[in-house]
Amino acid sequence: MSYRLKFVPAAMCKWQKLALPIKAQFKRKLAEHLLEPHVPANRLRSLDNAYKIKLRASGYRFIYQVDDAKIAVYVLSLGRREPFQ
């Protein structure tokens, strides 16, 4: 069963500004995660039913929340993670 993908408005603005190669990488990963969005290794501790997708080479991170009742995946945030100094 495939989940539907929905964007929070702030995340949609960031998505539209991404470069095409980064979008293509995220689309491939999202296609896999929409079939099975609950990935225990990618779970975030601070939010309920929230998970991350990381693109290590480019340094981007994608945070989504799963709603099993509506069979939907909501994209909460995406962007580049800055290193801690």
52 strand-pairing partners: 63
Note down pLDDT in tens along the chain; length 85 residues. Answer: 789 999 999 999 999 999 999 999 999 998 998 999 999 999 999 888 999 999 888 889 989 999 999 999 999 999 887 776 6
Q: What are the angstrom distances between the C-alpha of 67 and each of 16, 17, 21, 54?
A: 24, 26, 28, 21
Report pLDDT for 2: 87
The residues spanned by each domain of the chain are 4-80
Specify whether the CB–CB gap between 39 and 32 falls below 8 A.
no
Name the pairing type of β-strands 72-80 and 60-67: antiparallel
CA distance 25 to 23: 5
- From residue 28, how far is each of 33, 35, 67, 69 by CA, in Å? 9, 12, 21, 25
Q: Tell me, what's the pLDDT at 85?
A: 62
What CATH topology corresponds to 4-80?
A: YaeB-like fold (3.30.2310)
Q: What is the pLDDT of residue 58?
A: 83
The pTM score is 0.86
Active site residues: 52, 81
